[in-house]
Structures are given as C-alpha cells and as structure tokens.
Structure 1
Amino acid sequence: MEELLAKHRKEQKDLQARITQKKKSATKKSRRGINEECERLQSELSDRHQAELAQLNGEPVPPIDDLEDLDLNSHNNDEEQNDQINDSEHQSSTDSTPNTSSSASVSSAASTRPKKPNRQKARLARRAAEQAAQSAVAAEEASKQTDHRGNEKEVMDDVFKRLGLKQVEINPDGHCLYSAIAYQLEKLGVGLRPDPNRIVLEPPTRSRIDTVTSPQHDGYRAVRAVTADYISEHQDDFSPFMEEPVDQYTRKIKLTAEWGGQLELLAIAKAYGVEINVIQGDGRIEKIEGDTEEYEPEERRKRVIWLAYYRHTYGLGEHYNALMK
C-alpha cells in the first residue's frame, strides 16, 4: 500500500509539472485547448489511481476508458505538438494576408478537441481514493492493537469457572462496589447491620439501614454510611493514606457517588467482619481480611465475599460486579 501511494504521489507531481509547463507555453488562442487537455489528463490520472487502490484492496474495479493512454513519461511528444501549434499560430498572427488553409486547420483541430471532463466525477474519484487509503491504514493499525476488553473477559471467565463462581451484574453508576457488597451481605445472611461490638453506628446510619428497600438496588446507601462511620472511628488507621481531611473524605463516601477503592474495602471488611476476595483482570486474587477468627469455622466460611474488578470491559471505567458460589 505504501509503495503504491508513493508511486501515486510521484505521478501526481510529474503531471503537475507538465500541466504547469503547458500553461506557460500557451498563447491566447491555444489557452482554452490546453486547459481542457490538462483537465483531461488530471481526470484520467485520478481515475487510474482509484482503480489501482480498489484492486489492491480487493474491491470491484470500475471500468475506466483509455487509462492506458495516460503515460507520464510521454510528455515530450505532447510538448513537440504544442510547439508546432504555437509556431503555426505565431506565423498566422504575423502574416498580414489571411491564410485560408491555416484557418481550416485550426477549425478542424477545434472540432476534434476531447470532451470536457466531468470535474465533479474527478473530485469524487480523488476523494474515494483518499478514503480507501485512510481505511487501509486504520485497519492495519487496529489489527496491531491489543484487545484489552476481550483479554480481560476471557481471563475472568476462566477464573470464575475454576472457582465455581457465578457473576451478578451490578449497575455501573458509581455505587457498584457498595451495591455488590450489600447484595452479598444479604444473600450470605450477614445482613447490612454490623455487629455493635465492631462499630458504634451514628443515628443517620442506622436510619439508612432500616429504610433499605432492596440490597442490590439501594443497599449501597447503608454500606456507604457504615464505611464512613468505621473510618471516622479509626482515623489513625486511614488518615495517613488520605490527601484530604478525614471529615471531607467520609462526607464524600456518605453523600456522593465517589468510587470506592482499597481503603473502603478494608473498612468494610473490618466493620462487617468479612473476608473480601477481589478477582483482577489479569487473574490475580487480592484478599482483604476482616478479622474473622472469632467465628466458628462454619460461620467463617459464610463470611466470604467475592468481587470481580474490571478495568477495560465497561465503558464508564473501573467497575465491580458481585460473585456468588
């Protein structure tokens, strides 16, 4: 493709030089004929370029007449013919006696001039050739790009199958981490209200827990409030990792759709006494422990939460889905 485009650029440059030379040597009488000839040459070259690009891309090649007659290396013959016409016209203009045979010759030449080319067709042909070249380049670049989304999904599906996990789609609205946690807390029988020995809840938080209608859809409100309360009660454990005051940080957790991350997952694990396993897009599993040693083995097995963490699959960016055995 690159070699063909380079060839086209050279031919276009050569033709432009010929056209310039022809127009410079034109006289008042021959200017119209030379202009029409130049337009014809430009149109024929554009049509041939379009046909060659279409053939290279495996597309149907439209029938193009007389492309074989276009030879950029034959301009010497054309220039000799133009010189003869110019000499004849000059001789006719300097002769005071009208030359009947010369007039007849000019009339005959005018009657055999080529038909004026369709400029719109030439423009469309050039545009089609440019678009075909751009499409070829874009397709080549796309073939070299890594399919991050496809790779991530393939890796995730393999891990789910190996561990016997079923994915539960969570709405990607900024609350996905908290909604995924709320859904699993309810399904596992742990509930949205943590053990009072682990955390003392503020009255607004207790109210949010009591007014949840569906853990999967609005349970995030309760989990967000519990997370914020736990961080507030254990500021020394979290403040070194924050870039803003604790009260501002926890306010965002409670009242906005700010995404949750590592600090929030740790606070949730500690507040609810659960173990959280996060499956990454590269197959790694990150474990966040919440001190479950106090529970009996059967209870500990129940207090395990699984999350799927995506970086490329969802259009809005990073996303968490719930996973159930």
Structure 2
Amino acid sequence: MEGLLARHRKEQKDLQARITQKKKSASKKTRRGINDECDQLQRELSERHQAEIAELNGETTEPPVDDFEDLSVNDETTNGETKELENAQDEEPRDAELSVPDSSEQGSSSTPSTPGSRAKKPNRQKARLARRAAEQAAQAAQAEEEASKLTNHRGNEKEVMEGVFKRLKLKEVDINPDGHCLFSAVATQLEELGLGLRPDPARTVLQPSTQSRVETVASPKHDGYRAVRAVTADFITDHKGDFEAFMEEPLDQYTRKIKLTAEWGGQLELQAIARAYGVEINVIQGDGRIEKIESGDSEGSQDEEKRKKKVIWLAYYRHTYGLGEHYNALTTQE
C-alpha cells in the first residue's frame, strides 16, 4: 500500500506541474479550453487512484450481496426444522410402541414393513444447502459477466499508441522497465540524434561528479541514464526557483534521489532535461494526445532545420506495463 500511495503522490505532483505549465502557456482564446482539459485530467487521475486503492484492498465496484436477511430467514427455518425434528423424536417412541405386535402375533411374521407404513420425510437441511449453492453459482456467473464488460485499458492503450506511431512514422525502442526508463529513453534519443550526453555549458554548469559520470558512460543505451540523471539534478539545483515550489520535500533531498537512486522521473524532470539539453520533447500519451515540452529557447533563436534535429520522441504508458508508468524511446523510420 505504501508503494502505491507513493506512486499516487508522484503522479499527482507531476499532474500539478503539467497543469501549471499548460496554464502558463495559455492565451485568452485558449484559456477556457485548457482549464476544461486540466479539470478532466484531474478527475481521471483521482478516479484511477481510487480504483487502484479499492483493488489493492480487495474491494469491488459493486456492493457485496447482503446475506444477513437471508441468513435470518434460514435461521428461522432451521429453528423450525429443529422443533419439528424434536417433536418427531418425541413421537417416535409412541409410534413404535403402537406398532409393536402382541406376543401372540410375534411369531406369525418376520417382516416389519407393511403396505401402510409411513413414507420417509425429505431432508430439508440438504435442500436448503442446495438452494444456497445454486444462489452462489448464480452470483459467480453474474460477476464473471460484469468482469467481461470492463474496459480493457491495456489493450486499448496499446492499440491507440500503435496507431499514432504508424501515422507519424515512428518506430518504438523498448526500454528496460527498471525505474530508469525515462532517463534511459532520453539517453538513447540523444545518442540517436548525435547530440551526446554532455549539455551546452551555457545552459548549465555541471558538478565534477556529473562530469565524471558523463565521461565514464560505457554505452548510452545501457548506462547512459546515469549521465542524464546527474545532468537533470544539476539543472534543477541551478534553477531551483523554477522547480522548488512543486516539490514535496527539500531540494537537496529531491535532487539526491534523482541523481543516485532509481526514483521515477516525471514532469519536472522532463522540463529540466528539455532545457538542459536544448531539445523539444514530444510525449505520446495512451489516449493519443501528444504533449510537448519546450526547450525554453525563444522563437527564431535557431533555424528550422537545426530545430528539427533536436526533437526527442517518447511513448508514455500507464496500463501496458505491470509495474505502472513506463517510457519507451521512439525513433523516426527511414
């Protein structure tokens, strides 16, 4: 539960950062639509969080069938059956006594049953148990039918993603889902675009430990995340005024997690990466939307051809991978 709640807090923080970024970039004409979109994103996230907590707690979306009333009825039936059985037991000796033949007739016949003997009563307890088993089977069938009607989030997400990839002529590069996926996907793209893992010194001043990480990367596709993590942490530290308000913990503690652990990256890290490396990051969402994170450069500061070479594409999944959120890299097809 603690891990789930931590992820929920992370997602809520990322969403707030995204909403703030969207509202900052809104104009008078687009403000109303962006506000509606932000409200919709907040509602969807809250509903998903509630559903995940309910699923983890073993709860169901439909209230469980209340058996108390049925039990009380059955209890009354059981009590009635018990009284009938007791009365029958009290009557049996008298019946048996009446059916005992006289001593003069004992030797005349050895067969105890006669055509007029009383028939055996049905077992009401067995009938009640069979009825209860039938009711439980009906409930199980109904639950299975309802489950079959639930939305297949994983299948829908994958189908939508593949449609967008095909339309934009993008090829997906699988990234290991190990907590470093965002940074590994970025490192893969930086290498693919020929930009390298070392940012422009005019954009951020790297600490000696970060420079060492950049220089000792063996393969950008395998351990390049180490360099990207360190660059991201340094940029956030140098521009804490832009990021600190969105953090739920002290700045130094936050940046230490980003640099040295497998802490998941999110909206804040995407903004820091885009500005540190001077790239535009396009993130394809599971519903087909494309979220753009700008580099922070003013329009016209570089020619169009150069700008196109500094665009990173990422695929962001919420349902397809079992561990939760995941990023894959995307490359343009030849």
Aligned-partner SS, 1:195: coil
**CA 323–20 in structure 1, closer or farther in 2 if over 3 Å, else same:** same
**CA 99–263 in structure 1, closer or farther in 2 if over 3 Å, else same:** farther
Letter in 2 for 1:308: A
Question: Does 2:312 match 1:298?
Answer: no
Of 311, 327, 334, which aligns to 1:320? 327
CA drift at 1:144: 2.5
Question: Does 2:275 match 1:213?
Answer: no
Which residue in the other structure is 1:46 paired with?
none
Q: Distance in 1 between matches of 2:90 and 2:148?
A: 56
Which residue in the other structure is 2:209 paired with?
204
Which residue in the other structure is 2:232 paired with?
227
Which residue in the other structure is 1:262 paired with?
267
Task: Report the TM-score, using the length of structure 1 for normalisation.
Answer: 0.67
Aligned-partner SS, 2:175: coil
Q: Distance in 1 between matches of 2:217 and 2:104?
A: 106
Q: Distance in 1 between matches of 2:313 and 2:292?
A: 9
Of 281, 289, 293, which aligns to 2:286? 281
Letter in 2 for 1:321: N
Unpaired stretches in structure 2, ≥5 consecutive residues: 1-70
RMSD (Å) for aligned C-alpha atoms = 3.9
Give the greater-gyration-radius structure (CA).
Answer: 1
Letter in 2 for 1:237: D
Aligned-partner SS, 1:213: coil
Which residue in the other structure is 1:139 paired with?
144
Q: Distance in 2 between matches of 1:230 and 1:14?
A: 74
1:33-72 to structure 2, matched below 5 A, reads none
Question: Does 2:170 match 1:108?
Answer: no
Q: Is the 8 A contact 1:92 1:102 kept in 2?
A: no
Which residue in the other structure is 1:307 paired with?
314
**CA 249–18 in structure 1, closer or farther in 2 if over 3 Å, else same:** closer
Aligned-partner SS, 1:294: coil
Runs of 4+ in 1 over 6 A off after TM superposition: 12-15, 111-114, 124-128
CA drift at 1:238: 1.0
Unpaired stretches in structure 1, ≥5 consecutive residues: 1-8, 31-85
Q: Distance in 2 between matches of 1:103 and 1:159?
A: 98
CA displacement, residues 10-48 of structure 1 (integer Å, 9 cap, x when unaligned): xx8999688546523334795xxxxxxxxxxxxxxxxxx
Aligned-partner SS, 1:315: coil
Question: Does 2:85 match 1:23?
Answer: yes
CA displacement, residues 165-194 of structure 1 (integer Å, 9 cap, x when unaligned): 111111111111000000000011011011
Structure 1 vs Structure 2: percent identity of aligned residues? 65
CA drift at 1:295: 3.2
Which residue in the other structure is 1:159 paired with?
164
Letter in 2 for 1:256: T
Of 245, 256, 262, which aligns to 1:251? 256
Q: Is the 8 A contact 1:280 1:286 kept in 2?
A: yes
CA drift at 1:87: 6.2
**CA 105–27 in structure 1, closer or farther in 2 if over 3 Å, else same:** farther
| Aligned residue-pair number | 257
Q: Distance in 2 between matches of 1:294 and 1:313?
A: 39
By relative contact order (CA 8 Å, sep 6+), the higher-ranking structure is: 2
